[in-house]
Structure 1
Amino acid sequence: MTRPPGTVETKDMVFPQDANHHGTLFAGQGLQRLARAALVAAREAAGCEVVMAAVTGVQFLAPVPVGRALVLRAWIGRMGSSSLTVCVHGLAEAPGCAPELVLQGVFELVAVDAKGRPRAIAAAYLKPETT
């Protein structure tokens, strides 16, 4: 299956160790999963190492009970000369039910060199309309 660079989809289960005292996904775990998906998408799209610069918005739209699958879909919303905006949706899946949007976030990442300093994203990775 061919997909554009910077689009990522992962699926994982919500286990009891991921839950809060209500038996649903702990918000910190949800945020961590969103951030990881954003990092993977940005790294792939930039073609180099990236670091998180900001979380510009996260919403917890519905609780995710233990035992549900959590699908994370990440894509590049904006690519600049050295930074990227990544959007991530989290969908809960249960057998026999339609996926439900339960989490979403927007993350800003910056391409970095070996010393951790900002660097330009290679021109080959930039979309023509952003160069």
Structure 2
Amino acid sequence: MTDELTIDDGKLTIRVVAMPSDTNPAGDIFGGWLMSQMDLAASTTAALTARGRCATVAIDGVVFHHPVAVGDEVSIYTRLLKVGRTSMTIDVQAWRRVRHTTEIQKVTQGCFVFVALDAEGRPRQVAV
């Protein structure tokens, strides 16, 4: 995979390997860990779009399709769906690559909403 590879028109934003410390008692990767990686990727897209500080204000429609295992390479793709006056809506997809294979599988997707913030933490106009 290269940094320019896109899946469902998204841009590769973060790639990380799932580690044993990220597991739940069943041995699968915590959904919360995966959502935090998705939030980090979405925040990168939001900050670049708004050219500054942003905060997550909503996460809609998160669907966990498949579990992630220790050692899987997790790639997070983001796609800017909408830019409002102060907010941005970003589609986020997480894909896993099974370690030592080329097999990839979409594991999670969701819609993240961010608001651009000024130096005092108040909403400001998105500077696109």
Q: TM-score, normalised by structure 1?
A: 0.85
Q: Which residue in the other structure is 1:116 paired with?
A: 121
Pairing partner for 1:105 from 85, 102, 110? 110
Q: Which residue in the other structure is 1:52 paired with?
A: 56
CA RMSD across the alignment: 1.9
As a proportion of its length, which structure holds more helix?
1
Contact 1:7 1:76 in 2 (8 A): no
Q: Which residue in the other structure is 1:128 paired with?
A: none
Distance 1:23 1:13 in 2: 15
> Alignment identity in percent?
30
> How many residue pairs were aligned?
121
Deviations 1:53-87 (A, max 9, x none): 11112111100111111000112111111100011
Shift of the 57–66 alpha-carbon distance from structure 1 to 2, 3 Å rule, reads same
Unaligned ranges ≥5, structure 2: 5-9
Q: Which has the larger radius of gyration?
A: 1
Q: Which residue in the other structure is 1:129 paired with?
A: none
Q: Secondary structure at the match of 2:24?
A: coil
1:21 and 2:10 correspond: no
| Shift, 1:98, TM fit | 2.3
Q: Which residue in the other structure is 1:90 paired with?
A: 94
Shift of the 8–111 alpha-carbon distance from structure 1 to 2, 3 Å rule, reads farther
Contact 1:8 1:40 in 2 (8 A): no
Q: TM-score, normalised by structure 2?
A: 0.87
Unaligned ranges ≥5, structure 1: 126-131
Shift of the 103–92 alpha-carbon distance from structure 1 to 2, 3 Å rule, reads same
